[in-house]
Structure 1
Amino acid sequence: MKYALLFPGQGSQAVGMLGKHPLAELEPTYREASEVLGWDLLKLVQEGPAEELNRTERTQPALLAASIALFRVWQRQEPPSASAYAGHSLGEYTALVAAGSLKFADALKLVELRGQLMQAAVPAGTGGMAAVLGLDDDRIEALCKSYPGSEVLEPVNYNSPGQVVVAGETAALDWLQANGKANGAKLIKRLPVSVPSHCSLMRDAADKLAEQLANTDIQAPAIPVYHNLDAQPRATADDIRLALREQLFKPVRWTQTIRALHAAGIGAYFECGPGSVLAGLNKRIVDGLQSQALEDPAALVAALSLART
């Protein structure tokens, strides 16, 4: 069975995440991350408070560490090698660590900086994101272009057919909420985030991140990593740096990514990290897809059995 490991992004974090797995299996990775970052990631993940964990510059390294901790649990079972990796937004960094392209310590520092730059790019309260349900991609793009104001309003996460997240400035999002249903949307839900990720408001942040990426050691991945930008793997350090820069201000094309993996013959998809958001999305992208999360030990055992068939 050809399988892919998928790594989640922001929104999957929670105090006590991966709590069904024995802490003894995860703790060494959390402690390693704490030493790299200079703050107690283990305590934050285990005890919170949630408000601190949900700060973007804390969320990103915490989620990366949790997903890598679970990846190491998976690897200790000596599974057959995955055929591909992919990650949703932040999860792309986790995928690159798993593939040996980025060192864990370097990735932690990068995503902490990424979070800081994202938060600093747009003043609190002036931007955000909203999930739009019930419209196809073309209609959402047309709806955003029809906004009569000058503020940014852009589709940024193509998560599954009929589910796209839009990012932009507050006035534009207010207009979207007021007018979306009249234009065919079934539901428009504002997300509890203060950062309008993956839109043009992040260009300056991306340029600053690129400076750090230029000084970070990046290797060719041992296993193909499919990137958010265009659902294609990359083989060289410079191409990976460019993809990570552009990912910050261009959409996450998750639907396209899963379809590309499916077309490449991937038969099973395992979400390696907290939560099961991606596993749910994947089943809506391709009918009958074998997609499951590894967030509890029983699910991990079942996934191992499937991977070995």
Structure 2
Amino acid sequence: MTNPALAFVFPGQGSQQIGMLADAAQAFPEVVATFSEASSVLGYDLWDLCQNGTQEEINQTERTQPLLLTSSVALYRAWQAQGGAVPATMAGHSLGEWSALVCSGVLAFEDAVRLVRERGRLMQEAVPAGEGAMAAVIGLDDQAVEAACAESAQGAVVSAVNYNSPGQVVIAGSAAAVERAIEACKSAGAKRALPLPVSAPFHTELMRPAAEKLAPQIEATAFHAPETPVIHNVHAKTESDPAAIKALMVEQIYSPVRWTECVQAMASSGTQQLVECGPGKVLAGLAKRIDRSLSAFNIEKPEQLSDAVKAVAS
């Protein structure tokens, strides 16, 4: 049964850790089966990689993206198997939007694994290592961050790319321009502005070549109308037309993630309980900053999943 007050959110890059989901795999056969399915598509053992590989290996974007997609889908399948309520809405942060599309029935899991591996590869290739950068800006309003980026660009690319919560914005672009924008944000009164350990400037115009290369592959993949509405990063609205969803997933690669607006859209549509479906608890923390009235749950551990199933029973 659908719980009209329940939303599911799916994390993006940065939530990956060696050893993640180890407990869940022992408790839920769906986790093992989902990783096995992904491994057969990828041609390597994804479970072995995330349990026995190195952090450096799982931080390679073309591996990170299938890994996080698989983790989120595995936990959602475990949620379903445990009798968890059907959410009324879904959203994913950046890469996590692909997890939301799979769990809402828009596209097959195997197709998503193929596409996000290619998405990761193309995004990494779009800007040579060392030429792009990202930074987190804390304690400055959106307009001030945007103004700092505009004055720092000087003909290069730097822009706000993740509106994560009020007072927390990520900027990205060419390395020198990001460096200038960090200083400009500090001068404008930011509490902190610090570089992130990411090798490519995601969600900027510099990613447009990657989007253009991925577009034909997205176009050739079967997409369906969502069974559960998904709020999209690009405009913080839902979309039911498969062709429009394909276009949004291309545009998403070089457009900002409007996460604050996505969570606000959920809250205004009646969401009271939010489940973060994937490793970590970044999105649950952001949700509480965006709207204090929301109850947020994490389900990476078996006991967390069981407790959340009971807490959000429809």
Q: Is it true that 1:4 corresponds to 2:32 in the alignment?
A: no
**Residue number in structure 2 paired with 1:265:** 270
Whole-angstrom CA distance in 2 between matches of 1:32 and 1:232: 31
Amino acid in the other structure paired with 2:152: Y
Aligned partner of 2:74 among 69, 72, 81: 69
Aligned structure 1 segments of 4 or more residues deviating by more than 6 angstroms: none
Q: Is it true that 1:241 corresponds to 2:246 in the alignment?
A: yes
Whole-angstrom CA distance in 2 between matches of 1:81 and 1:173: 41
What does residue range 6-155 of structure 1 map to in structure 2 within 5 Å? 6-23=9-26, 25=28, 26-147=31-152, 149-155=154-160
Amino acid in the other structure paired with 2:170: V
Deviations 1:111-131, CA, capped at 9 Å, x for gaps:
000001100100100001000
TM-score (norm 2): 0.96
Whole-angstrom CA distance in 2 between matches of 1:303 and 1:11: 23
The size of the alignment, in residue pairs, is: 309
Is the deviation greater in 173-182 or in 131-140? Answer: 173-182
Distance 1:34 1:22, change over 3 A: closer
Whole-angstrom CA distance in 2 between matches of 1:146 and 1:179: 8
Q: Is it true that 1:206 corresponds to 2:211 in the alignment?
A: yes
Whole-angstrom CA distance in 1 between matches of 2:226 and 2:165: 27
Distance 1:148 1:54, change over 3 A: closer
Q: Percent identity?
A: 49
**Residue number in structure 2 paired with 1:230:** 235
**2:148·2:184 contact (CA, 8 Å) conserved in 1?**
no
CA RMSD of aligned residues (A): 1.1
**Residue number in structure 2 paired with 1:188:** 193
TM-score (norm 1): 0.97
Is the deviation greater in 276-285 or in 33-42? Answer: 33-42
Whole-angstrom CA distance in 1 between matches of 2:302 and 2:293: 24
Whole-angstrom CA distance in 1 between matches of 2:39 and 2:76: 18
- Aligned-residue offset at 1:177: 2.6
Q: Matched residue of 1:4: which SS? A: strand
Q: Is it true that 1:288 corresponds to 2:293 in the alignment?
A: yes
Whole-angstrom CA distance in 2 between matches of 1:271 and 1:44: 23
- Aligned-residue offset at 1:24: 5.8
* Structure 1 segments unaligned to the other structure (5+ residues): none
